[in-house]
Structures are given as C-alpha cells and as structure tokens.
C-alpha cells in the first residue's frame, strides 16, 4: 500500500464559539453579571467561561472524534446557554459584531487577566467588542503541524468568505461583510501568520517575545491560524461567528477536510504550494469586504476569479478525503451557504427590507438555536 492510500489520522476537533448576551427589550448587549457563566459552570464546568466584556460568553466543546460529535456538542452548548440566559430574562445571538451596541457602554469582566490586557492595550482592548469562531484540529507532531499551518494559510480567505457575519458596527453599515477583523487588527500579533521554516525558528520567535516582555505567555499570539501553545492542535481563528449550528458544522467540516488533504499530500511528498503572505492578505481583504459575492485572486493563473468558483475548486480539492472523514453531508452544506448567503448577507437583507437594526438583532437571535 502506498503512503497516499494509508488510512488518515482522526484529526480530532475542538470548537469554541463566542455568543452575544442581549436584552430582549432594548436589543442591546447586556452584562450577564457572570450569572450565566456561573450557572453554566455548575453544569458545563470548563466548557463555558467569561470573556473580556461581560456581555460575551465563550463556550468550547470537549475533544470530538468527528464532525457529527462536534455538531452535537455545539448544539448542546447553544441550547444550554440559551436556557441559562432565559432564566435571567436575556436572549442570545451569534454574530461577530452587534449591529448597534457601543463598546464604551460595556462593562469589563472583573478578572486579573482582563485587567492586565486592558492595562497593556488601553482602548484597543476596551473597544474589542467582537465575537469569533475558533476551530482546533488535532495533530500530534509539531513539525507536521507547522508545515500544515504554512500551507493552510492559502485557504483562509476562502473559508473566511463563507463565514462573513459582521456587516454592522456601532449602528452603521460598514460596507464590509466582515468588519470584525478590522477591529481586531488594532491588536498586536494578529492577522495572517508569518511563514516559519522549522519548529525551532517558531520557538525562537516565541522565546524572544517572552524574554523581552512583549508577551507573558504564547497564547497572546492571536493570529488567524496558529499552532496552539498548549494543545496538540492547529487553531483556525479567522472565522466570523456563524448564525446557525449547521453553518458552524459545515465550516468545521471544511477546515478538517483541508487539513486532512494537505496532510495526505505531505505524506505523499507532494506538498501544496506556499504563497506569500502579502498575496494571501490581498485575498483576506477581498473576503472581508465582499464575502462570497466578490472575486479572489487565483495566484496560479495570476487573475481575478469569482469567489464562488474558487470555493468550488476547494470542494474538488478536498473531495477525496471527505468520505473517509465521514463528513460529506456536512461539507456539502457549503452549497446552502452559497445559495442563501452568509450571515452578513442575511443581516443586510433584513436591514434593507426593514431599515431597522433592532429587526436585525431579532433575526440574529432567532437563528441561534435554529434546527436544534
């Protein structure tokens, strides 16, 4: 049996989502005063935690063996947080920015970690009122993980375009399908990761940052894709929050399949092309601005191509691994996203129809537990 035909590793999964806690009367963000987190910890333990702003709740799945298990856990966590919020007279939504909330009005969680970040980064931290989806893919070998991280960067704008879900900021239509990344870009050590030729060079980079007090621990590397400093995973952090569980599940399946395909090529000594980060950055900007409706650059052809065509090519690229991963149905939900639009497209459609950002909030919260 050739190396390319050997059985793939499991590529275990972990999913983190950040939710908006909302007052059903004003539709504005509302401090949960830690009651949702405290109530969640009794039932969910370490799967729920507070974030910097008190109107944000973060949840994380356990280690999942496949995409179906990840979907089941995300659905359970969404239901549980909605239930806990309901007991406090609050509702929950999944979008990467709130349509009209002001960051100046948001209380900071009273924890030393967040006080330290605010003390260091000032209004950059205080204004970081955004919500993200992070997907971990398990890879035991760090050298392999680094090579896959280098190669997977090319596909980040494609995946990003499918998740765009932050068109509004402080009551304005920003003109972007995903404005979250523009807000987060004010932080240091964000955006697309640099290319590293070895784990040693990567570790040397981290060591310099720690020794010179740029960071106190490697978790303060907030790139769009990173080797996790404590887990045996690579962590995709570029995605906007998805409106629904089905969209989240699709993106998780897509990310796992990209990693599996790149691993398969690597084990066959046929590694994927590594493109300049400066070029990939151009595609990321296009994805943020236009989502799935615009064009990305095909670096091989040196031409602009409709984003939906490059997403179709991505589906062809991963086609030979999705059955072994058992995720064909979840991956093919991409076609539903392309047909109905991303979360941003749906939010904008509601706003254009009603002219009312409160109705947009109602739409977001109405989608939170749809299908579960």
pLDDT number for residue 3: 47
pLDDT number for residue 46: 81
pLDDT number for residue 33: 57
- Single pTM value for the model: 0.96
Q: Could you give the CA distance from residue 46 to residue 38 in angstroms, rounded to a whole number?
A: 11
Domains of the chain, each with CATH number or no CATH: 3-367 (3.30.590.20)
Tens of each residue's pLDDT in the chain, 372 residues: 344 467 899 999 999 999 999 999 999 999 875 678 887 777 788 899 889 999 999 999 999 999 999 999 999 999 999 999 999 999 999 999 999 999 999 999 888 888 888 999 999 999 999 999 999 999 999 999 999 999 999 999 999 999 999 999 999 999 999 999 999 999 999 999 999 999 999 999 999 999 999 999 898 999 999 999 888 999 999 999 999 999 999 999 999 999 999 999 999 998 788 999 999 999 999 999 999 999 999 999 999 999 999 999 999 999 999 999 999 999 999 999 999 999 999 999 999 999 999 999 999 999 999 999
pLDDT number for residue 6: 75
pLDDT number for residue 43: 76
């Amino acid at each position: 049996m050739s190396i390319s035909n050997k059985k793939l590793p499991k590529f275990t999964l972990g999913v983190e989502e950040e939710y908006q806690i909302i007052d059903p009367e004003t539709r504005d963000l509302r401090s949960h005063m830690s009651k949702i987190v405290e109530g969640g910890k009794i039932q969910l333990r370490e799967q729920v935690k507070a974030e910097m702003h008190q109107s944000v709740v973060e949840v994380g799945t356990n280690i999942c063996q496949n995409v179906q298990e990840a979907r089941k856990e995300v659905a359970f966590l969404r239901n549980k947080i909605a239930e806990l919020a309901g007991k406090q007279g609050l509702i929950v939504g999944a979008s990467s920015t709130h349509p009209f909330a002001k960051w100046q009005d948001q209380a900071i969680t009273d924890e030393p970690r967040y006080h330290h970040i605010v003390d260091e980064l000032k209004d950059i931290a205080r204004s970081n009122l955004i919500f993200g989806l992070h997907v971990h893919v398990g890879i035991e070998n760090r050298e392999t993980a680094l090579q896959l991280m280098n190669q997977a960067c090319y596909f980040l704008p494609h995946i990003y375009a499918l998740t765009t879900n932050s068109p509004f900021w402080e009551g304005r239509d920003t003109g972007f399908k995903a404005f979250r990344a523009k807000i987060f870009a004010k932080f240091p050590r964000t955006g697309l990761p640099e290319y590293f030729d070895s784990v040693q060079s990567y570790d040397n980079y981290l060591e310099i940052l720690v020794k010179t007090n740029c960071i106190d621990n490697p978790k303060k590397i907030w790139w769009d894709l990173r080797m996790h400093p404590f887990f045996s995973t690579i962590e995709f952090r570029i995605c906007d929050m998805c409106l629904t569980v089905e969209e989240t599940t699709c993106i998780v399946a897509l990310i796992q399949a990209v990693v599996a395909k790149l691993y398969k090529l690597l084990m066959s000594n046929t590694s994927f092309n590594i493109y300049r980060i400066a070029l990939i950055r151009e595609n990321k900007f296009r994805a943020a601005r236009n989502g799935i409706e615009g064009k990305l650059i095909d670096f091989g052809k040196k031409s602009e191509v409709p984003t939906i065509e490059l997403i179709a090519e991505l589906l062809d690229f991963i086609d030979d691994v999705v059955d072994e991963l058992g995720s064909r149905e979840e991956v093919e939900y991409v076609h539903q996203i392309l047909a109905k639009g991303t979360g941003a497209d749906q939010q904008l459609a509601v706003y254009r129809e009603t002219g009312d950002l409160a109705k947009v909030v109602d739409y977001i919260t109405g989608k939170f537990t749809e299908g579960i």
